[in-house]
Amino acid sequence: MPFAVTRLQIVARGLTNRCPNCGGRTLFKAGTWFQTNQDCPACGLRIERDEGFFLGSMSLNYGVTLVCFLTPVMLLAYKGVIGLTAAVVIAGVGSIVFPALFYRSSRSWWLMNYYFFVPQHLPANRIATASDGDENL
Ligand SMILES: [Zn+2]
């Protein structure tokens, strides 16, 4: 049975920081940069699933910062394109600024990653199961 929300939609919504269930721009509290909504105000999807659910997004943020920002700066310094002092300053400042700018995407990507592998957990994809039914099947 096909899902109401496909994996492709989950990825598209994840990459654009939208709710994986309804597609609304509701992951973050309005007017804030860093505060995640507990639940989606539009569809009620539990966004902050458990204490520590978003620890994975911190690892993701760290990895992306390392691969996409710090490694290129290091390579530019190694090849002599920028000086060592400039590289240290850029890396130091960027280590704070880049993760802050990537914060929202890292949370959204983590949520996308979760629902990509268990799309049946989205309320829109819930199949009516018996009281003892296993929704992981
Ligand atoms: Zn929603």
Gap from CA of 134 to ligand 1 centroid (Å): 23
CA of 44 relative to ligand 1 center, distance in Å: 6
41 CA to centre of ligand 1 in angstroms? 7
Structure tokens, 128: 């009516």
Residue of 35, 9, 3 lying closest to 24 (CA atoms): 9
- Token pair 């850029």 in the structure block, residue: 90
CB half-sphere exposure, 107, CA atoms < 13 A:
21
**What pLDDT does 52 receive?**
85
Instruction: State which residues have CB under 5 angstroms from ligand 1, the bound ion.
Output: 19, 21-22, 24, 40, 42-43, 45
Q: Which residues of the chain have pLDDT under 70?
A: 1, 127-137
| Model confidence, pTM | 0.83
Task: For residue 36, list its beta bridge partners.
Answer: 28
25 C-alpha to ligand 1 centroid (Å): 8
Q: How far apart are CA 87 and CA 76, in angstroms?
A: 8
Say which residues have a Cβ less than 8 Å from residue 119's Cβ, sequence separation at least 6: 3, 5, 6, 7, 10, 125
